[in-house]
Amino acid sequence: SEDIKLAVTTSFENSGLSEVLLPAIKEDIGLDVQLLVVGTGQALRLGQAGDVDAILVHSRAAEEKFVEEGYGTYRREIMYNDFVFIGPAADPAEIASSSSAVVALQKIAGTAPPFVSRGDDSGTHKMELSLWESAGLDPAEFADWYRAVGSGMGASLNTAAGLDAYILADRASWLNFGNKADLALLFSGDPALFNQYAFLAVNPEKHPHVRNDLAVKLETWLTSPRAAELINSYQINGETLFTFNAQPR
């Protein structure tokens, strides 16, 4: 069988979906997908350097820049999940009853309970920053309660668990996370929290050695009905995590 190297972000890996998809890929098209689980920025760098054959991330602006600069040929949306607000079960900021994500953030800023930010320029972090912006707030002006921890999704959740803090996470990572401690899912469902994953094959013109043929094969599979079925039916504790939304080309 053949190997393809795919760089993914920590939130994708932490969701556990890969453990369902990879064996199926192997079975269906005989491809060994080697996952490199790294930060969003690092994933893009690996793609730029030609060290991986494709990347799967969720940070639209960065993805578009990647394609623009010619490192990738195009961007193919595969699926989405959503971001959720996690926080202490007691919910001191009372965000559970918020009408929207922006309101939730305003409440948090109002009560100033500990809040953990990824702080690592990842897709999740960028989403959080854009939400603050929509809420008319600037994290740079926050006091000590706002903690930029500069780590991956799992590590940040661990820190939030330790601090009993609020945090923005993707639903998949949260459901698959084992160290929930006192934390609970407090708010979700605002369309603003939509989280799109996209697949980008590395441009073979920039890096002739990359296995673009395999990347295309993988992309074809990822956008196939079989993938749709697996992705849509992936559940943890009875909850669906991802929604397949690839458009046929």
For binding to another protein (CB under 8 A), which residues are involved?
Answer: 3, 5, 10, 13-14, 16, 22, 32, 34-45, 48-51, 119-122, 144, 147-155, 157-159, 161-164, 176-182, 207, 209
CB of 231 to another protein, least distance (A): 19
Between 46 and 231, name the residue whose CB sits nearer to another protein: 46
CB of 196 to another protein, least distance (A): 20
CB of 176 to another protein, least distance (A): 6
Q: Of 40, 22, 19, which is closest to residue 31 (Cα–Cα)?
A: 22
- 121 CB-contact burial (10 Å; exposed 0-12 / middle 13-18 / buried 19+): middle
Amino acid at site 88 = P
Between 102 and 127, name the residue whose CB sits nearer to another protein: 127
CB of 232 to another protein, least distance (A): 22
Between 42 and 134, name the residue whose CB sits nearer to another protein: 42
Between 76 and 118, name the residue whose CB sits nearer to another protein: 118
- 11 CB-contact burial (10 Å; exposed 0-12 / middle 13-18 / buried 19+): buried
Between 98 and 158, name the residue whose CB sits nearer to another protein: 158
- 3 CB-contact burial (10 Å; exposed 0-12 / middle 13-18 / buried 19+): exposed
Helix axes of 212-222 and 225-233: crossing angle, nearest 10 degrees: 60
CB of 191 to another protein, least distance (A): 28
From first CA to last CA, the distance across the chain in angstroms is: 27
